[in-house]
Amino acid sequence: MAEAAPPEPSLSSRLFSLLQTRQQSANIVLACVVGLLVGVVAIGFHELLHLVQRIALGSTSPLAILPTLPWYWKLCLPAIGGLLVTPIVTRWAVEAKGHGVPEVMEAVALRGGIIRARVALAKAVASAVTIGTGGSTGREGPVIQIGSALGSSCGQLLRLSPDQIRTLVGCGAAGGIAATFNAPIAGAFFALEVILGNFAVPAFAPIVLSSVLATAVSRAYMGNVPAFQIPQYSLLHYGEVPLYALLGILMGVVAVIFIRVLYKSEDLFENSPIPPALRTTVGGLLVGVLLLYWPEVYGTGFEAMYRLLHEATDWQVLALLFGIKLVATCTTLGSGASGGIFSPSLFLGVVAGGLFGQVVHAVLPGLTAEPEAYAMVGMGAVVAGTTHAPVTAILMLFELTGDYHIILPVMVACTLSTVTARYLYSHSIYTLKLSRKGVSLLRGREETVMQSFRVADVMRSPAPTLPQEAPFQELVDSFLDSQEPHYYLVDHETHLTGVIHLHDIKGFLSEGGLDGLIIARDVAHPVSVMTHPGETLAECLEKFSGNATERLPVVDSASTRKVVGVVAQQDVIDLYNREVLRKEFLGTVPIDSTQRRGALTLPPQYTVVPLRLPMAFSGRTLKDLDLRARYDVTVLAVRTPANSGSRDYLPQPDQPLQATDTLILAGHQQALDTFQRRFSTSGEIDQG
């Protein structure tokens, strides 16, 4: 007999799909708006930087004008910049201090993407003054933080969900990189690889569109030209590949040196007797000393890099420039000034790669490319090593130079540089700053979920309690009439005084006449471990692991110990499983890196499906339905219509379901098929 055709979708189902589509469309529109705004902001920052340079130098070409300036002006200029920046980064917006990207990563990982709006303006002014007065930093970090703050502010203004705000932060970061370097592909992948840490399907399209539109705005104003117009270099023969592999390994070492020296510089300034209000000024003065003799270290160093990629340079000069640039950048950022690390990484890669190229070209003159080719590959390799983001580095170098001919050496060098840097030092230049603040991104899914939820989200209330003066027979009857493994004893004000486990009374059951002799507190144990509603599940889980118990009492506070509920270890584990699978359903594909562990992958025979709530389920609770035990399916989330389309939430076990809800179910394909056939056509449900 032929199987009946599936029923036509109901009007409510079609309406729900329409609302979901509207939400996705709204996200795309918002991403486009953020991209356009970030493109405009990037142009504004570019002009602000040029304004500061005109005021400080009288020109926007520092390498040409610096040799003509008085020595005292070159010496004092970075110090003046540091003096102006100090109140901004110490009082108005401390997030503007340093290179900015770690602060964005922290906001995305731990604060739902929330960034204060003032950070955008503070970062723009502080970084423009730092770079324009000679500070040896880059301009990409500021634009990333500015764009991210802009995206976050838009999300907060519209009261979007944390996931949507995070996506807009990624859109802002992508647009910042794209508009600054004329690199839309690298911008998108930087946001996904570094800022968000995953290639989430819902976030991919908005971020790409934001990056494209930011680039379009930037190109309309500044033209569509690569950041570096250099001669065309290519791989002469495949025998050069091992040399580029060796270059990648060495650039990984260079990246680690840069990371370590930068944060050692921070420590030196932090532990020095210099007053905090003067540290940036003193750092600027030290950079001014370097500018007296080496103008190449001024600002972003783009002019100097351009020359190094076009002109042959003595190896002694390259070695000296490497050391001077390293010291200048670490002094600038270590003293508390504001700016990015991309441009310094590119500079260090140019000089270190060029130095390596000169060595191999001297040893194998007829078998190797020009030293400048190795310098160009070194640029990308050092960026990959410092950021631990090889995909971004490969794409960025291609877009910066507009040269695809040397892509194979670039891929080899960037990959091996990242592997080497990770092997030598687990932290990137971004994550190390967070680690030093006590913020860890070395968390897998479990810790992320456990930190995101509180005990109040899973606790059961009321807790199984008995008066501490309860007669022995009442205690026995309570255990017999329920399935509770233990009862908590409370005084007349419900303050916790002890706990009784079922096995505590087993030895007394065979003895008669105890009802008038023993009361509950006589067989109770003191409670040394408890939790409270505001505690994270990560903290709660640590208490479970350190004690041989499957349940913990929930009290209002450690001082009053008033019992408000109980939390079961199994409920915590169930929440974790549902939340992880729910994120899988929403399309998150985390990057496999040393900073974020790999994602959970469903076995091939398992799947996730949405199902309109059956009529008989309306008004009932998940605890009452017990779908896992009855039908071998798990409810990951409940999707309910909202003003902006729909929202997904994790329901409480005792929360009644609504007729307009949609269940997000996971399970074995056969179990899901059976469940869908049954409840798509009927409203019946087993009663027990």
CATH number corresponding to 451-573: 3.10.580.10
Neighbour-count burial of 213, counting CB atoms closer than 10 A to its CB (0-12 exposed, 13-18 middle, 19+ buried): buried
In whole angstroms, what is the distance from residue 32 CA to residue 191 CA?
15
Residues in the chain: 688
573 residue type, one letter: I
| Fold of the domain built from segment(s) 238-436 | Clc chloride channel (1.10.3080)
| Fold of the domain built from segment(s) 24-222 | Clc chloride channel (1.10.3080)
Predicted pLDDT at 255: 95
pLDDT in tens, 396-434: 888 877 777 788 899 999 999 999 999 998 888 988 888
Predicted pLDDT at 222: 84
Second CATH level (architecture) for the domain 602-681:
2-Layer Sandwich (3.30)
Where, residue-wise, is CATH 3.10.580.10 in the chain? 451-573
Where, residue-wise, is CATH 1.10.3080.10 in the chain? 24-222, 238-436
Predicted pLDDT at 398: 84
| Residue 635, strand partner residues | 665
Residue 173 contacts residue 115 (beta carbons within 8 Å): no
Q: Are strands 465-467 and 486-490 parallel, antiparallel or unpaired?
A: parallel
Residue 396 contacts residue 183 (beta carbons within 8 Å): yes
| Residue 466, strand partner residues | 489
| CA proximity to 38, closest of 159, 163, 169 | 169
112 to 161, 163, 200, 245, 431: CA distances (angstroms): 8, 7, 15, 40, 18
Would you put residue 471 in left (φ > 0), alpha (ψ -120 to 50) or beta?
beta
Instruction: Identify the H or E element spanning 487.
Output: strand 486-490
Residue 153 contacts residue 120 (beta carbons within 8 Å): yes
In whole angstroms, what is the distance from residue 366 CA to residue 356 CA?
16
Q: How many other C-beta atoms are found inside a 10 Å radius of the C-beta of residue 604?
A: 7
Residue 441 contacts residue 105 (beta carbons within 8 Å): yes
Residue 304 contacts residue 228 (beta carbons within 8 Å): no
477 to 463, 481, 486, 563: CA distances (angstroms): 17, 6, 13, 22
The dihedrals phi and psi of 471, each to the nearest 5 degrees, come to -60, 160
Q: How many other C-beta atoms are found inside a 10 Å radius of the C-beta of residue 347?
A: 28
Predicted pLDDT at 171: 92
Predicted pLDDT at 597: 37
| Residue 462, strand partner residues | none
Low-confidence ranges of the chain (pLDDT < 50): 1-7, 11-13, 15-20, 444-445, 584-601, 681-688
Predicted pLDDT at 22: 61
For residue 126 the two structure tokens come to 């502080």
Q: Which residues contact 86 (CB under 8 A, 6 or more apart)?
A: 277, 278, 279, 280, 281, 336
3-state SS assignment for residue 7: coil
The residue whose two tokens read 């600002």 is 299
DSSP 68: G
For residue 8 the two structure tokens come to 């036509």
Predicted pLDDT at 441: 61
Q: Which residues contact 175 (CB under 8 A, 6 or more apart)?
A: 34, 35, 38, 39, 42, 147, 187, 210, 211, 213, 214, 215
Instruction: Identify the H or E element spanning 630.
Output: helix 627-631
Buried b (16+ CB within 10 A) or exposed e, 55-91: ebbeeeebbebbeebeeeebbbbbbbbbbbbbebbbe
DSSP 508: G
Instruction: Identify the H or E element spanning 555.
Output: strand 551-555
In whole angstroms, what is the distance from residue 486 CA to residue 464 CA?
8
For residue 201 the two structure tokens come to 């399907």
In whole angstroms, what is the distance from residue 4 CA to residue 1 CA?
9
Q: Which residues contact 517 (CB under 8 A, 6 or more apart)?
A: 472
In whole angstroms, what is the distance from residue 565 CA to residue 571 CA?
13
| Residue 429, strand partner residues | none
Predicted pLDDT at 1: 42
Buried b (16+ CB within 10 A) or exposed e, 412-432: bbbbbbbbbbbeebebbbbbb
Would you put residue 655 in left (φ > 0), alpha (ψ -120 to 50) or beta?
beta
Tell me: cis bond preceding 9? Omega within 30 of 0 counts: no
3-state SS assignment for residue 628: helix
Predicted pLDDT at 346: 92
| Residue 608, strand partner residues | 666
